[in-house]
Amino acid sequence: MVAISILLLYPIYFVWLQNERHFKKGFNLIRKHAKFILFCVGIRIKVIGSIPDDDNTSYIICPNHSSYLDILILYAVFPNYFIFLGKKELGKVPVFNIFFKKMNILVDRKNAKAAHQSIVKATEAMEKGSNLVIFPEGTIPHTAPKMKPFKNGAFRLARQLKMPIVPITFVNNWKLLEDSMQWTAKSCPGISKVYIHSPIIVNSDEPQDLLTLREQTRAVIQSKLDTTDEC
C-alpha cells in the first residue's frame, strides 16, 4: 500500500516538495495519504490527550519509536505543520527519499559539522513557526516496546529555543507492525493507542537541566507503555 500509493502520488510530491512555497500543501497531502493507507490496512487510531493546536507556539514532539507505523500516525493525528529530524540513512531509500530532500531534515550523527548544520536548519524552521518531530531514541529498538536510552539533541534544542516538548507514547504499534524486513514479520489490523501528554515547559539554562528534561520526558512516555495490549 505504501509503495504503490507513493508511486501514484510521486509526480505531485516531486513538484510540491521541491519548493518551500508548497511545503504546507505537500504536508496536507501527506496527511491525507497517511490516513488513506491506515484506513486501507485496517489501522484505527485511539488518541488519549489533547492535540496542541496553537499556531502561535512551536513544539518539539518527542515520541517513543517502536514501528514504522509511528510516522504515519503522527501525520494522521497532528493537524499543524511539522517536519522530521531523521537519520541520514533515510535519504538513501529510493522514492521514499523525496520526503527528505527538501522539506524534512536529515542528520549525520557521525559527522559533527554536518550534524550541527542540521540543527541550524531545524532551528530556522522552528523560528518560522514549524513544529519539529524528533524520536529521542534515534531509531527503532529491537527490544520494543522497551525503549533505548534517549539522545540529548531534542532536549538541547528545546533549551536553546525555549520550546515546549510534547511527549507522545505509542503503546502498541510494535504489535501492529513489527520492525522487520522478513515476510514472516508480524502485522495485523487493529487499534493504535496514542497518548499525547501535556507539554513540558522549558525555562532553564542550567546545564544539569538538560539531563533532567531528558529523563522527565522519558518517564512521561514510559508511564503509559503497557505491554499487555493485544492486536
Q: What is the mean pLDDT of the chain?
A: 88
Sheet containing strand 131-133, strands side by side: 43-48, 190-196, 165-170, 60-63, 131-133, 82-87, 105-107
Q: Is 60 exceeded by the pLDDT of residue 227?
A: no
Share of the chain above pLDDT 70, in %: 92
Check residue 108 and give its pLDDT. Answer: 80
Check residue 100 and give its pLDDT. Answer: 82
Whether residue 197 contacts residue 169, with contact meaning beta carbons closer than 8 Å, is answered with yes
Reported as a single tens digit per residue, the pLDDT across 117-141 is 888 888 888 888 899 999 999 889 9
Q: Which domains does the chain have, with CATH numbers?
A: 2-222 (3.40.1130)
More confident residue, 139 or 114: 139
- Look at residue 111 and give its three-state secondary structure: coil
Q: Is 70 exceeded by the pLDDT of residue 174?
A: yes
Helix (H) or strand (E) holding 43: strand 43-48
More confident residue, 72 or 184: 72
Reported as a single tens digit per residue, the pLDDT across 17-58 is 989 899 999 999 999 999 999 999 999 999 999 877 666 778
Question: What letter would DSSP give residue 204?
Answer: -
Rg (CA), the chain: 17
More confident residue, 118 or 109: 118
Confidence class for position 102, pLDDT limits 50, 70, 90: confident
Q: Which of 148-160 are b and which e, b meaning 16 or more Cβ less than 10 Å from the residue's Cβ?
A: bebbebbbebbbe
